Amino acid sequence: MLAWFSPGFPIGAFSYSHGLETAVSTGKVHDRESLRRWTAAILTHGAGRMDAETLRDAYRAASEQDLEALTAVNRRGLAFRATSEMALETTAQGEAFLSTCRAAWPEPFLDRWAEMLGQGGEAPCHAAAVGAAAARADTSPGCAMTAYLHAMAANLVSAGLRLGIVGQTDGQRIIAALEPVVGTAVTRALTRDPSVFGGAALGVDLASMAHETQYSRLFRS
């Protein structure tokens, strides 16, 4: 987990702001508190919620070495992306994560899944790739989910730093304040019925749509 979610793991997470760049340019996010609220909403109602459940279900499928179930989980994780940039965000990171894991920690099941995806012309969703790798590494789903959501929060806060709305100390204050948010999100995802899969962070989705045509951009999403 420490290796997979360190800044040095080459998935290019720093390239994405998940709509935050637009929110900053329009003034919706402008200080420490508004960045904290924006990030918390993503974790609990947006991509964080959906990714946590995708990771959970991918973990279960990979634990049972069920390639068909894992592929179905992956497809659902991709289908619920509201914008083209959010789809790019998860597939680009998913492909990088899976290929790096396979290179550094060879695992036959992951190789078979990657081959299956390639034959079908499909891309891995980042959360599904993490869930599958975590299962094959025999780590706990709760630990993997906690690390994943913490990394998501940290990346959004880092984007806020680079956009100039908070400094490094305030960034750490936000991450500390989000610890219970991450913990609650993990607990709920581990027990939530799979039939209620989905998210409702419409402001984030609209910001992502606007970002596609934003004139000046630092980030890819």
Pick the CATH number of 17-211 from 3.40.50.1370, 1.10.40.50, 3.40.50.300, 1.10.4190.10: 1.10.4190.10
Distances (CA, A) of 36 to 27, 58, 142, 143: 14, 29, 23, 23
Q: Give residue limits of the domains in the chain.
A: 17-211
Note the Cα 49 to chain centre separation in Å: 9
Residue 20 pLDDT:
98
Structure tokens at 200: 């409702």
Residue 6 burial (C-beta neighbours within 10 Å; 0-12, 13-18, 19+): exposed
Residue 195 pLDDT:
85
pLDDT means over runs of 10, the chain (221 residues): 91 95 97 98 97 98 98 97 96 98 96 97 98 97 97 97 97 98 97 89 95 93 94
The Cα–Cα gap between 70 and 128 comes to 8
Distances (CA, A) of 53 to 84, 131, 132, 140, 143: 21, 10, 13, 14, 14
Structure tokens at 143: 């630990």
> Does this model's pTM top 0.85?
yes
Residue 7 CB coordination number (10 Å):
11
Residue 194 pLDDT:
84
CB 207 within 8 A of CB 34: no
Residue 7 pLDDT:
84
Length of the chain: 221
